[in-house]
Amino acid sequence: MSNRTLAIIKPDGVQKNLIGQIITKITEAGFKIKAIKMVRLTKDSAGGFYEVHKGKFFFEGLIEYMTSGPCVPIALEKENAVADFRKLIGTTDPALADKGTIRKLYAASKAENVIHGSDSDENAAIEIAHFFSRKELLENSVS
Ligand code: UDP
Ligand code: MG
């Protein structure tokens, strides 16, 4: 699974009608879309996805936010995908993010920051599997 990462256009990105602009940034940066869908997360699904943050002060707000509307998970492929994608989206807090990054351009706050990117190859594999089956990733040819 190395060379892959999971992006999510978060509910604020969808709500602000930014799906097209964000995907353009992603593909212009050289990422290939392996699979994409629009889903509304349940509290259980969002809680499982962000399990590592359980107990932190922002966890409840994060689950509220991530279940507030549909989001768009995208499985991406590129050499050095995880690190390059983190660079493309910028730091968690958009106020501190580099100029031209997706969060700097579009995010409102550290909490509502329009996009997710996996932080390691190991988590990329887990996170891609959270949203996509092997069939959806076109990894087998059975219809
Ligand atoms: N978050 C928040 N407050 C914080 C830190 C994080 O609301 O102080 C939210 C924010 O939406 C962030 C997500 O929780 O993107 C996951 O946090 P993480 O530290 O993993 O940041 P990321 O990897 O998304 O940059
Ligand atoms: Mg993270």
Q: Concatenate the DSSP letters of all residues of 84-128 into one string.
A: HHHHHH--SSGGGSPTTSHHHHH--SSSS-SEEE-SSHHHHHHHH
What letter would DSSP give residue 140?
S
Q: Is 110 in the pocket of ligand 1 (CB under 6 A)?
A: yes
Question: pTM of the full predicted structure?
Answer: 0.97
Would you give per-residue pLDDT tens digits along the chain (143 residues)? 479 999 999 999 999 999 999 999 999 999 999 999 999 999 999 999 999 999 999 999 999 999 999 999 999 999 999 999 999 999 999 999 999 999 999 999 999 999 999 999 999 999 999 999 999 998 866 65
105: Cα within 13 Å, side-chain hemisphere = 12
Q: From atom 17 of ligand 1, which residue's Cα is the shortest distance away?
A: 92
Q: Which ligand is nearest to the CA of 109?
A: 1
The tally of domains found in the chain comes to: 1
Q: What is the pLDDT of residue 141?
A: 60
Q: Which domain holds residue 36?
A: 4-139
How far apart, in whole angstroms, are the C-alpha atoms of residue 59 and residue 133? 27
Q: Is 119 in the pocket of ligand 1 (CB under 6 A)?
A: yes
Positions marked active-site = 116
Which CATH number covers residue 123?
3.30.70.141
Whole-number Å distance, alpha carbon 127 to ligand 1 midpoint, is 15
How far apart, in whole angstroms, are the C-alpha atoms of residue 114 and residue 71? 10
